[in-house]
Structure 1
Amino acid sequence: MQTGNKSVDQLIAKYGILSTPGVNEFQRRVRLTGGDERANNLPFCMYQKVAYAPLSQFFSVHHFYLPSHKGKLASFLFDEKGNLIEQVYYQRVARWVKVCRKLEQLVKRSKQDIQLAA
């Protein structure tokens, strides 16, 4: 048990946590540069950070979805060093917020594992 929610734990077991850009049913990870037009689809707080950043700055956006509910779960914006800049939890129920916090920890941990390996 990683998140405390059986359906999310099953999705993690099936797909894992993406550490490089990619897409699957549960998550999507995208690499953006400062001023990237794809930032238009991000939540406003993330859009501002990416749209007004210099072109030389890189970002990583990690989105999580609930395929069974056909809805968004959470989005995380990281800078090129792997530091969390912004987070958005789309679910407002307390138990889902806890799941989102656990996902945040898992994403940070996978990011740290990659940096240590390099």
Structure 2
Amino acid sequence: MNASNFLSANVSLNNSYSMRSNTRAACVANAAFIGNAPLDKLETGIKSIDHLVQRYSINFNIDEGQLADNAFQKSLVLYGQDQRLDYFNLPPCMYMLIAAASAEEKFIVHRFYLPYKNGVRFATYLLNEEGEIIESVSYQRNVKYLQAFKIIRKQIALANQINESIAA
């Protein structure tokens, strides 16, 4: 058995795992096999957010061609000192970070919305080019929404660690 046969057998075997597991640990383990696959199962404690994640999935890709754009989440790429900063209504902490960065630095702004609350903002995450969370802001003050915000932030960080370990 050569390397290509071994890899093809393992890739087909690993892709047969379902992302529909009941536990977050199993979901993260499955994501390790898939790499940059979107997360489509999450238990945040709020059923409506869980349904949104299941319906739209959370897209962890930071490639410009695969950014998320749906009712639940929107992603956009900004560069340091970008002229478009004034039009995106970013939180002041994110605005100052991007405005102070050099023009070569790439940032991904990942926003989550609650469509069942007339599209009110839920959270905004600022990621660097490597996919690490630099800044995060939650717009909801309810304890359950803050807990869901932290769970999503943890999943983004875990996906970044998994992608780094796969790349290494």
TM-score (norm 1): 0.89
Measure how far apart 1:116 and its partner are: 4.1
Partner SS for 1:74: strand
1:101 is matched with 150
CA–CA distance in structure 2, aligned partners of residues 117 and 14 of structure 1:
27
2:77 alignment partner, one of 22, 31, 39:
31
Gaps of 5+ in 1: none
Q: How many residue pairs are counted as aligned between the two chains?
A: 118
Measure how far apart 1:114 and its partner are: 3.8
CA–CA distance in structure 1, aligned partners of residues 148 and 76 of structure 2:
22
2:132 is matched with 83
Mapping of 1:11-50 within 5 angstroms?
11-20=52-61, 21-40=67-86, 41=88, 42-50=90-98
CA–CA distance in structure 2, aligned partners of residues 62 and 6 of structure 1:
21
Q: Percent identity?
A: 35
Contact 1:17 1:110 in 2 (8 A): no
CA–CA distance in structure 1, aligned partners of residues 151 and 59 of structure 2:
15
Contact 2:131 2:160 in 1 (8 A): yes
Residue 55 to residue 62, structure 1, CA distance change in 2 (3 Å): same
Larger radius of gyration: 2
Could you list the runs of 4 or more consecutive aligned residues of structure 1 that deviate by over 4 angstroms after TM superposition?
Answer: none
TM-score (norm 2): 0.65
Q: Which has the higher contact order (CA 8 A, sep 6+)?
A: 1
